[in-house]
Amino acid sequence: MSSPAALAALQKELVHGYDNLITFRMCNIAGLTLLVYDLLLTVDMEVRHFWKWETSGAVRPRGREHFSFLRILFFMNRYLPLATQILNVVGSVLVAAPLQTDGTQGRIWSQQILAFTAILEWFAVPACIVLYRTCALYGRNRQVIFGLVSFYLTAVVVTILIVVLTLRKYSVSAELAPGVNLNFHACHSVSPSQTLYTVFITPLIYDVTLCVVAVYALVDLRRRGTNSYLLQAMAQHTIAYCIVITIADSTNLIIYAAAESALRHVFDPLMFAIVSISCSRLLLHLREVGDRSGAEFFSEVSPEHELSVLRSMRAEHPGVVDRAFGGMYF
Handedness of CA 264, 267, 269, 271 (dihedral sign): negative
How far is Cα 111 from Cα 191, in angstroms, rounded to an integer? Answer: 12
Percent pLDDT > 70 in the chain is: 62
- Cβ neighbours for 157, distance < 8 A, ≥ 6 positions apart: none
Q: State the amino acid at position 258 in one-letter form.
A: A
pLDDT, the chain, mean: 73
Residue 96: is it exposed, middle or buried by C-beta count within 10 angstroms (0-12/13-18/19+)?
exposed
Tell me which architecture the domain covering 4-53+62-316 has in CATH: Up-down Bundle (1.20)
Phi, psi angles (nearest 5°) of residue 176: -85, -25
Contacts of 128 (CB under 8 A, 6+ apart): 73, 152
Please indicate whether residue 127 or residue 4 has the higher confidence score (pLDDT): 127
Q: Which of 59-68, 106-115, 135-144 has the highest mean pLDDT?
A: 135-144
What does pTM read for this prediction?
Answer: 0.75
Quote the CA–CA distance of 135 and 149 in Å, as a whole number: 8
Are 300 and 61 within 8 A, CB to CB?
A: yes
Query: pLDDT category, 197, cuts 50, 70, 90?
Result: confident
Q: What is the pLDDT of residues 222-269, one digit of tens each?
A: 887 666 777 888 888 999 999 999 999 999 899 888 877 777 778 888
The Cα 28–Cα 185 span in angstroms is 10
- Residue 21 binned pLDDT confidence (cut-offs 50, 70, 90): confident
Report the C-alpha gap between 151 and 235 in whole angstroms. 21
Give me the torsion for CA of 262, 273, 129, 52, rounded to 10°.
Answer: 150
Beta strands in the chain (DSSP E): 175-177, 180-181
Ordered DSSP codes for 189-237? -B---SSGGGGGHHHHHHHHHHHHHHHHHHHHHHHTT---HHHHHHHHH
Q: What is the pLDDT of residue 249?
A: 92
Residue-level pLDDT at 181: 52
Domain ranges of the chain: 4-53+62-316
Distance CA 91, CA 28 (A): 10
